[in-house]
Amino acid sequence: MALYEQIKEAMGELDEDEVMKLINEALANGEADLALSACQDGLNVVGERFENSEYFVSDLIYAGDIMGQAVGALKPALSSGGGQSVAGKVLLCTVKGDLHDIGKNIVKSLLEASNFEVVDLGIDVAPEDIVATAKKENIKIIALSGVLTLAIDTMKETVEAFEKAGMRDQVKIIIGGAPVTAEVSKLVGSDAWSLVPQEGVKYCLEWAKM
């Protein structure tokens, strides 16, 4: 089996030791880009298994941890000698009134693995702080997370804050978390929504190319 397929399979199976062993092998062969791609595709497998109820939230968290380790090992090789350029900047946070960060942290790991520079504002972040940071850092992609139902109101207030600042047409906003649905996205006024981290990253990659 080719190294790419081995890494993809090991990531999909959440085999941390095997993933890191193969990552080191890829580094020795000068194949850091290939290894990163394989890890990302392996995470897609994890996402599919989560959607099919084969994996659970705890598995997603573990996958995020493995990916974080893999990216940490690969980063030096990716950032030197013609590695991938930064895909873009993403502002990420859990909105005001919500203190959950598990989902946010998984998304952060996946975004960084896709070569995004992530500005993580943490948890319980007010709309005005999100807008101010986006303006100061010139960030065009905003990812809002929330697990509690009350987060929906804050997400809506955040979109409205961008409108009041005259910046709504300059940014793309994606929302995610337990209470999020297509109807909630429409109510909030976001550009996209996702309950699966990998899908959310795909939206960000598409927007970064625009």
Phi and psi (nearest 5°) for 197? -50, -45
pLDDT band at 111 (very low <50, low <70, confident <90, very high): confident
Residue 55 included in any domain: yes
**DSSP designation for 171:** -
Question: 93 and 47 in one domain?
Answer: no
- Quote the CA–CA distance of 35 and 53 in Å, as a whole number: 27
- Give per-residue pLDDT as tens, 63-74: 888 988 898 898
Question: 105 and 27 in one domain?
Answer: no
pLDDT at 83: 47
Question: 114 and 96 in one domain?
Answer: yes
Highest mean pLDDT among 45-49, 108-112, 171-175, 178-182: 171-175
Over residues 76-89, the mean pLDDT reads: 67
- Burial class for 53, CB neighbours closer than 10 Å (0-12, 13-18, 19+): exposed
- Quote the CA–CA distance of 156 and 127 in Å, as a whole number: 9
Residue 83 included in any domain: no
Looking at the 3D structure of the chain, how many domains does it have? Answer: 2
Over residues 150-166, the mean pLDDT reads: 97
Question: 113 and 58 in one domain?
Answer: no
Question: 202 and 102 in one domain?
Answer: yes
pLDDT at 203: 95
pLDDT at 81: 47
Residue 145 included in any domain: yes
Q: Which domain holds residue 196?
A: 88-208
